[in-house]
């Protein structure tokens, strides 16, 4: 370890910054965030840096650096393009035993600026010892996605109540268990949701009760999106990585599932056509039972849990049992699959509205209002309709939708093996019989489908060629 990571309290202390350009500005911003009183010396100073030095103890000196400027300073930063000057500053600061940082010159530094994740009072510093600052910055960016801004408020809340908790729990292990209860439970989730007043009330009551034992758990109904793990929300990822148990369905991709906490129990409760691993009533009971054991439960559902995901039914059961819950929306298949297929659901020249329709209703009985689905300038997206495609097409045409209306089937949308088959109401059934695109698939009906070939961007060549090849081979066999 070439550098020892330390955190210094510099509020109200004096520091010297030599340089007045953009690089100096970046260092000045960090120092001012830490409460430093800053003296800047340079022949020229950019306006943004001048505006930053607003404290009465800050100072701007237009001119040359000289060693007397080090008097009373606790650290020095050199950010110019003059190597000889940098060496002088390093020598002078070392002579005065003052920590010095020379930008982009690790050999002249006695301290370095890490890449910082700032969730004050929680602060994380990442350093490569000057060998690879770009790598440190990229790692910081990765952590930024995993640590929500709410941790700042949570840290402040804990700090405000620290003395009260210490007075309430005299035993160290009791205090530790209590804070784990706070930081890993509903109080923290209230903070993350921006409900600070509720969180503070719960914390006050918890201290009063003095309980550190069993607590009821919570259920997180999380939309896993269409399959591409990069389409998950930050909140979904955070909850997945803190869950004790995860119940997942058939549409959750292995790549998404792999992002769950490593030691979480992963339980499959998926449903496929005519094959329900666990009936819906059983899933509801599992969610309730595990939450009552004090566990953090993630119900991971493909797409969005409130769009044909039966999420509302599960929440009704949780509500009846007094189980706290949260819902995290996901990118629904209609939006994701159409986007990855290059089909805008609305376009001012083709469609001014869009309807999401399930092609598979309760008890397999179709009860679609086709009169509402045949309007011009409208896109209709059918979920779970691949097995009823002939009936859907017949219903639309019978009720007046023109047979030349464009149709697309998007199979396994957003996945590496995504395929797109386009046609019209007149021929899409026969094309699908030949191509046999697999489920899960989405059916898009409307003139916007005409833009697919022009706007396709994801796997365009290979996927379209594979479908075209399947059709050509089928025709060759028939002839």
Rounded mean pLDDT, 16-43: 96
Is 140 within a domain? no
The domain in which residue 281 lies consists of 218-328
What value does the mean pLDDT of the chain take?
A: 90
Radius of gyration of the chain, Cα coordinates, nearest whole angstrom:
30
User: What CATH number does the domain containing 364 carry?
Assistant: 3.30.950.10
- Are the C-beta atoms of 287 and 236 separated by less than 8 Å? no
Domain check: are 320 and 374 in the same one? no
- DSSP at 126: E
Is 430 within a domain? yes
Look at residue 191 in the predicted model and tell me its pLDDT: 93
Is 143 within a domain? no
- Are the C-beta atoms of 20 and 43 separated by less than 8 Å? yes
Domain check: are 31 and 102 in the same one? yes
CA 447 to chain centre: 33
Q: In angstroms, what CA-CA distances link 424 with 243, 248, 393, 450?
A: 45, 35, 10, 10
Binding residues for S-adenosyl-L-methionine: 226, 302-304, 307, 332-333, 384, 413
- DSSP at 438: P
Domain check: are 222 and 312 in the same one? yes
Is 160 within a domain? yes
Domain check: are 106 and 158 in the same one? no
Domain check: are 338 and 465 in the same one? yes
Q: CA nearest 465: which of 455, 453, 476, 477?
A: 453
306 Cβ contact list (under 8 Å, min separation 6): 312, 327, 329
Answer whether residue 13 shows pLDDT above 80: yes
CA 55 to chain centre: 37
Domain check: are 74 and 175 in the same one? no
Query: 381: which 2 tokens?
Result: 């997206």
The tens digit of pLDDT for each residue in 392-412 reads: 999 999 999 999 999 999 999
Residue 249 annotated to the active site: yes
Rounded mean pLDDT, 221-237: 93
Answer whether residue 473 shows pLDDT above 50: no
Q: In angstroms, what CA-CA distances link 139 with 116, 117, 133, 260, 335?
A: 10, 10, 10, 20, 30
Is 191 within a domain? yes
DSSP per-residue letters across 319-352: HHTT--EEEE----HHHHHHHHHT--S-BTTTBS
Residue 325 pairs in a beta bridge with: 219
Binding residues: 22-23, 43-44, 226, 302-304, 307, 332-333, 384, 413
182 phi and psi angles, rounded to 5 deg: -70, -50
Q: Which residues of 231-241 are buried (b: 16+ CB within 10 A; e: fewer)?
A: bbeebbbbbbe
Does residue 8 come out as left (phi exceeding 0), alpha (psi in the -120 to 50 range) or beta?
A: beta
Q: Total domain count for the chain?
A: 4
Residue 301 annotated to the active site: no
Name the pTM for this structure: 0.71
Kindly report whether the peptide bond that precedes residue 351 is cis, defined as omega within 30 degrees of 0.
no
Kindly report whether the peptide bond that precedes residue 13 is cis, defined as omega within 30 degrees of 0.
no
Strand ranges in 96-183 using DSSP code E only, listed in sequence order: 100-102, 115-119, 122-126
- Are the C-beta atoms of 225 and 231 separated by less than 8 Å? yes
Query: 7: which 2 tokens?
Result: 């955190």
Q: In angstroms, what CA-CA distances link 329 with 69, 129, 380, 421?
A: 56, 40, 22, 28
Binding residues for NAD(+): 22-23, 43-44
More confident residue, 400 or 365: 400
DSSP per-residue letters across 11-56: TT-EEEEE--SHHHHHHHHHHHHTT-EEEEEES---HHHHHH--ST
Is 314 within a domain? yes
Strand ranges in 346-436 using DSSP code E only, listed in sequence order: 353-358, 378-383, 406-411, 419-424
The tens digit of pLDDT for each residue in 97-155 reads: 999 999 999 999 999 999 999 999 999 999 988 888 899 989 998 888 778 889 999 99
- Are the C-beta atoms of 444 and 383 separated by less than 8 Å? no
Look at residue 479 in the predicted model and tell me its pLDDT: 37
Choose, from 271, 292, 355, 394, the residue flagged as catalytic.
271
Whats the size of the chain, residue-wise?
Answer: 479
Domain check: are 340 and 471 in the same one? yes
Answer whether residue 276 shows pLDDT above 90: no
* Share of residues in the chain with pLDDT > 90 (%): 75
User: What CATH number does the domain containing 312 carry?
Assistant: 3.40.1010.10
Query: 396: which 2 tokens?
Result: 């639309």
More confident residue, 146 or 288: 288
Domain check: are 71 and 184 in the same one? no
- Are the C-beta atoms of 18 and 66 separated by less than 8 Å? no
Please return the burial class of 248, using the count of CB atoms within 10 Å of its CB with bins 0-12, 13-18 and 19+.
buried
User: What CATH number does the domain containing 48 carry?
Assistant: 3.40.50.720
Among 62-76, 181-195, 401-415, name the one with the lowest average pLDDT. Answer: 181-195
Domain check: are 441 and 360 in the same one? yes
Domain check: are 318 and 350 in the same one? no
Residue 408 pairs in a beta bridge with: 422, 444
Domain check: are 179 and 261 in the same one? no
- Are the C-beta atoms of 26 and 49 separated by less than 8 Å? no
Orientation angle between helical segments 280-292 and 311-320, nearest 10 degrees: 40
Cα(46)–Cα(20) distance, integer angstroms: 6
Choose, from 228, 244, 249, 463, the residue flagged as catalytic.
249
Domain boundary among 303, 328, 353: 328
Domain check: are 95 and 55 in the same one? yes
Is 5 within a domain? no
Is 121 within a domain? no
Answer whether residue 75 shows pLDDT above 90: yes
- Are the C-beta atoms of 5 and 115 separated by less than 8 Å? no
- Are the C-beta atoms of 243 and 260 separated by less than 8 Å? yes
The tens digit of pLDDT for each residue in 323-346 reads: 999 999 999 999 999 999 999 999
CA dihedral 22, 23, 25, 30 (to 10 degrees): 150
């Amino acid at each position: 370890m070439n550098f020892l990571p330390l955190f210094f309290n510099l509020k109200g202390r004096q520091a010297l910054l030599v340089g007045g350009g953009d690089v100096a500005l970046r260092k000045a911003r960090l120092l001012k965030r830490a409460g430093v009183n800053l003296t800047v010396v340079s022949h020229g100073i950019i306006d943004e840096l001048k505006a930053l030095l607003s404290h009465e103890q800050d100072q701007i000196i237009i001119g040359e650096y000289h060693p007397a400027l080090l008097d009373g300073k606790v650290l020095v930063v050199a950010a110019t393009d003059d190597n000889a000057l940098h060496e002088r500053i390093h020598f002078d600061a070392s002579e005065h035993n003052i920590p010095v940082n020379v930008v982009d010159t690790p050999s002249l530094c006695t301290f370095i600026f890490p890449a910082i994740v700032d969730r004050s009072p929680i602060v994380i510093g990442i350093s490569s010892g000057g060998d690879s600052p770009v790598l440190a910055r990229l790692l910081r960016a990765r952590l930024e996605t995993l640590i929500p801004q709410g941790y700042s408020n949570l840290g402040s809340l804990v700090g405000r109540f620290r003395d009260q908790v210490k007075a309430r729990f005299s035993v160290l292990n009791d205090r530790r268990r209590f804070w784990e209860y706070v930081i890993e439970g509903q109080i923290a989730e209230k903070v993350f949701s921006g409900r600070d007043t509720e969180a503070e009330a719960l914390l006050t009551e918890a201290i009063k009760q003095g309980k550190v034992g069993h607590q009821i758990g919570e259920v997180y109904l999380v939309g896993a999106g269409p399959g591409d793990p990069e389409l998950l929300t930050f909140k979904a990822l955070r909850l997945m990585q803190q869950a004790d148990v995860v119940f997942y369905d058939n549409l959750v991709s292995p790549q998404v599932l792999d992002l769950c906490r490593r030691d979480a129990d992963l339980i499959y409760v998926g449903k496929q056509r005519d094959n329900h691993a666990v009936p819906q009533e059983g899933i509801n009971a599992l969610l309730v039972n595990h939450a009552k054991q004090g566990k953090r439960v993630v119900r991971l559902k493909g797409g969005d849990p409130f769009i044909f995901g039966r999420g509302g039914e599960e929440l009704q059961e949780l509500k009846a049992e007094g189980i706290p819950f949260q819902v995290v929306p996901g990118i629904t298949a209609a939006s994701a699959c159409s986007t990855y297929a290059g089909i805008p659901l609305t376009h001012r020249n083709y469609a001014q509205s869009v309807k999401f329709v399930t092609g598979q209703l309760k008890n397999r009985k179709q009860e679609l209002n086709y009169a509402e689905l045949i309007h011009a300038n409208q896109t209709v997206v059918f979920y779970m309709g691949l097995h009823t495609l002939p009936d859907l097409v017949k219903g639309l045409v019978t009720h007046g939708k023109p047979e030349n209306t464009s149709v697309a089937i998007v199979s396994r949308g957003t996945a590496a093996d995504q395929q797109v088959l386009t046609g019209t109401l007149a021929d899409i059934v026969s094309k699908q019989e030949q191509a046999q695109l697999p489920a899960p698939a989405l059916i898009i009906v409307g003139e916007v489908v005409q833009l697919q070939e022009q706007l396709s961007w994801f796997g365009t060549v290979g996927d379209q060629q594979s479908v075209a090849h399947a059709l050509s081979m089928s025709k060759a066999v028939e002839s």
